[in-house]
Structure 1
């Protein structure tokens, strides 16, 4: 394959995947995750392998995809070029595809993260001033929350339940600021 052929194939994927905005149908519902379109700096905090607190920085990028019917994001912690990038178990480099499903009046969301071999499906809904995503198909159950949402920042928090959602334990959180 020549360089120009490779560039054309890459451009074709980008052209087919990315969209300039939401599709008109369900545009109001699509704003739930559409409000995050753009690039964000991340400040991650969680627990390390030894059980001690750990902090890292990273990045997050959101965009419209699939004809404006979905939102895709890419999460990279530590960020590109930073120490520890792509090294498990704390590092992650993954993507989520999210779309509004009118049959359940909620968002279907699938997280794919090859560094640690993870795939999880979530159902997301707005609850008060937050967005709550629940993954109940596998154990442990996961709850991801977008909170304190403003046009320039938001907080993302991950929690785990080992008792079918009766109690939740903090796993990690990220503070985001728009770049």
Structure 2
């Protein structure tokens, strides 16, 4: 049996109105600045390597915004960008989202990545390190290490490293050079 649900335009807009926020929550402004600095739209130059070292390249897009009454930052990563060859194709293409919020109990950011195309959900703990940000996911194999570096108002570098041996050895998996639109 198939159940089809319909919605009208007002219901669709209600989700956007209740999810998105115009600014960070006033009491959390300082804590949220770590990822809040990325709010806006970005163009990505993505490159990834498979287990055989084969490199792929694509252009992508990235959008950051305030959500949940300004208590969190959400982003949407799209590679290849919409309308480009390969959009929506795995293994290198992805269209996913991350919800990030500061957790004062652990003094760090909780970050959850959801990638329907790849069938994955990963939880990370993120912290500022030197002049960048590092996020680590060790809740399952492979372990993942993501970082933001070379951060300016108009650009940053995002790197992904992967470990298949519990964090003993790390290998470059992806790199994205982001430019603010």
Specify the alignment match of 2:23 in structure 1.
21
Specify the alignment match of 1:8 in structure 2.
10
1:1-179 superposed matches below 5 A: 6-48=8-50, 51-179=53-181
Q: Is the 8 A contact 2:21 2:70 kept in 1?
A: yes
Separation (CA, whole Å) in 1 of partners of 2:129 and 2:165: 22
Structure 2 stretches lacking a partner, 5+ long: none
Separation (CA, whole Å) in 2 of partners of 1:29 and 1:57: 31
Structure 1 stretches lacking a partner, 5+ long: none
TM-score, normalised by the number of residues in structure 2: 0.93
Alignment: residue pair count: 177
CA RMSD between the two structures: 1.6
1:131 Cα offset (Å)? 0.3
TM-score, normalised by the number of residues in structure 1: 0.94
**What secondary structure, in the 3-state scheme, does the structure 2 residue paired with 1:68 have?**
coil
